[in-house]
Amino acid sequence: MQTMFPVIAILTLMTACATTHAQPATSFTPGKVWPDDKGVHINAHGGGVLYHEGTYYWFGEHKIAGRTGNSAQVGVGVYSSTDLYNWKNEGIALKVVDEQGHDIQRGCILERPKVIYNKTTGKFVMWFHLELKGQGYASARTGVAVADNVTGPYTFIESMRPHAGVWPVNAGDAAKPSKDIDGTWAADRERSIALGSYLRRDFEGGQMSRDMTLFVDDDGKAYHITSSEENRTLHISLLSDDYLSFTDHYVRIFPGGANEAPAICKHNGKYYMITSGLTGWAPNPARSAVADNILGPWKSTGNPARGVNPANGLGPEKTFGGQSTFLLPVHGKPGAFIAMFDVWTPQNPIDGRYIWLPAEFEDGNIIVRYREQWDLSVFDRVNAGD
Ligand code: GAL
């Protein structure tokens, strides 16, 4: 008996380990390694999720190990899931190409890919932040690709600086030559930026577009939301009916507010947005905003983060160590949204972690409370009856 006990204990432990590995996940554990169906940490950074015919598809930047992984060496990865906890690697949806001078040449910077489905054309449309190879973050473009199948392959169409020669609908005085905007640059730089000095500078060549997201409204209209004007002002643009190009209809939001990493959702007829400040890969305090109309006016509602991430001791002052990426509507649960954040690890980007947390609506604000482990049953209590 005395010798049997340890043997049984070891066998039990071995079985437990084997089962743990194969067992499907039933909860979210923010910030931890998140294995896919092959047991490999999910590689879909700066991502977005599309729900299509009973399945969620998570698109994101496919990183490789080491600093080289901060540029696109592979492309956009895609994973599928029916329960949001367990994800199957579906491969590379959009591949970078080796042709010299191509917009999405290997080594370009391709970030924050988002995919939407166009019910009329039956096509899947991907937009992403694109920086041409060898130019750092100077080109500030947005790119578009299209596919017949949700997991791809996506065909690259073009990249651009949008709205060349077009003023936003709320340009106001920015559309006219003005001493405040063009003349007082050195005297009051921040003020002239807020008034539209970069907007005027880029009027002919097209507006800058860096961190971006997409949003499809209930009426099927799709919007491109991006950090423009040297990341100082957000632009929200109505896309064409086929989602493949820009219309001339766009607005400036929070001029001079310096927002990036935009994520948007709609709940009970109101639009909610989470953004970050401008500190690159390093975390900063998140911001939130609410609007009755997606094109504004938007009202600032402060820092949405609540609580502390015990793994790194970071709370609202650093968004738990993460940066906003997407607000994911949970299908079939009205009022249920998952706020997705990336924890960037630029020294080894492939190890970047994901912080997914339930969004809560309190007093007309969107808030995000840290939880070490949670599952979708949270939504039976949070926002229930909203
Ligand atoms: C962040 C941005 C990321 C990436 C990074 C590069 O602010 O949100 O998507 O562009 O800067 O430093």
Question: Phi and psi (nearest 5°) for 70?
Answer: -80, -10
> Which distant-in-sequence residues (6+ apart) come within 8 Å of 385 by Cβ?
none
pLDDT, tens digit, 9 for 90 and up, residues 102-115: 999 999 999 999 99
Q: Name the band, by pLDDT with cuts 50, 70 and 90, for residue 21.
A: low
Say yes or no to pLDDT of 2 above 90.
no
Give the Cα separation of 360 and 266 in Å (integer): 12
**Ligand 1 pocket, residue 63 CB under 6 Å:** no
Cα(279) to ligand 1 centroid in Å equals 8
Q: Is 346 in the pocket of ligand 1 (CB under 6 A)?
A: no
* The pLDDT value given to residue 15: 40
**Most ligand 1 atoms within 8 A of CB, residue of 45, 61, 211 to mutate:** 211
Q: What percent of the chain has pLDDT above 70?
A: 92
Question: How confident is the model at residue 172, as a pLDDT?
Answer: 86
Q: Is the pLDDT of residue 174 over 90?
A: no
Mean pLDDT over residues 226-245, rounded? Answer: 98
Q: Whose CA is nearest to atom 6 of ligand 1?
A: 280
Which residue's CA is minimally distant from atom 7 of ligand 1?
280
pLDDT of residue 178: 81
Q: What is the mean pLDDT of residues 86-112?
A: 98
Q: pLDDT tens digits, residue range 146-155?
A: 999 999 999 9
- pLDDT tens digit sequence for 347-359: 999 999 999 999 9
Percent of residues, the chain, with pLDDT higher than 90: 87
This prediction's pTM: 0.93
User: 363: CA distance to ligand 1 center in Å?
Assistant: 31
Query: What's the rounded mean pLDDT across residues 53-76?
Result: 98
